[in-house]
Amino acid sequence: MNALEQLKTLSVVVADTGDLDAIRKYQPQDCTTNPSLILKAAELPAYAEALRKAQQLGDVEAAIDGLTVGIGTELTRIVPGYVSTEVDARLSFDADAMIAKARHLIALYGEQGVGRERILIKLATTWEGVQAARVLEAEGIRCNLTLVFSLEQAIAAAQAGAYLISPFVGRITDWYKKSTGTADYPVETDPGVQSVRTIYSHFKAHGYPTVVMGASFRSAAQVRALAGCDRLTVSPALLGELAADQTPLEAALTPVAATRHEATLSEADFRWALASNPMANDKLAEGIRGFHADTEKLRKLIGQLEPAAAG
């Protein structure tokens, strides 16, 4: 077996893309999207009709939601598992607004014949995002808490009952390279890899059922270093690199029996932990800004289309 085939025996492989051709080629279990990926997907010929239908809704906000759900619906027809759909990053500090948007997206999926059991609603792991997840999970809407850069973010999400968290490997490594002036890290000391390993071990030791899905990879070596993690969401470029690799791949992470319990993390403790962690604080804010910027680009793209051109 090639490295990708071996990886699929150790972790659930998720495609970090909206590219239908790439998904068909590498056959992941799930796929994830975010505003950046939706923007890229909207420019692909395969989604031209979805873009036109969205624009015909007349209202830009409705068009963005329609396009997001339209792309997600197409993805559910290809992958057998979950499709992650992200709530507008501008809402990341308003729990009620995130809850309302999540319910709206699930309703739109329902109109397309896609049940909530196929969708993970992605929320930024702010304190407000964690509280929104608590409410949504109680309603049977499963959540993917994204932009996780610290153990405390991960713990708060798990204690809220989030189905899945997405700790970001590459963005953590990027921050440390820039802040320390280190050109590169050996994989065994890579800060991004170490962060996910710490979260995974902590979750297993404390019996949290929340799925840990490593994300934001910069290299196939980082992916290999997390083989055995519950899920790994990987870009088409790295999926292709793994598919072309015939070298053996072994589990780097293995679950352990739960032996510990910890107190519930308070809001004050969560906020202080973020404030005390320059990397996590910087990257969370940067990630929210970046997703918002790409949503604005998508808003502009939709606004540039004339109704007549939409057919």
Residues in the chain: 311
Rounded CA-CA distance 117/8 in Å is 22
Token reading at 203? 């979750």
Rounded CA-CA distance 91/97 in Å is 6
Q: Own/partner pairs for 24-28, CB < 8 Å, 24+ apart?
A: 24/78, 25/236, 26/236, 26/239, 26/240, 26/243, 28/79, 28/239
Q: How far is CA 137 from its chain centroid?
A: 17
Rounded CA-CA distance 100/1 in Å is 45
Dihedral sign of CA atoms 267, 273, 275, 280 in order: negative
Q: SS3 sequence, 105-132?
A: HHHHHHHCCCCHHHEEEEEECCHHHHHH
Dihedral sign of CA atoms 178, 181, 183, 186 in order: negative
Residues tagged active-site: 122
Q: How far is CA 303 from its chain centroid?
A: 27
Q: What are the backbone angles phi and psi of residue 236, rounded to the nearest 5°?
A: -55, -35
119 close to 147: Cβ distance less than 8 angstroms: no
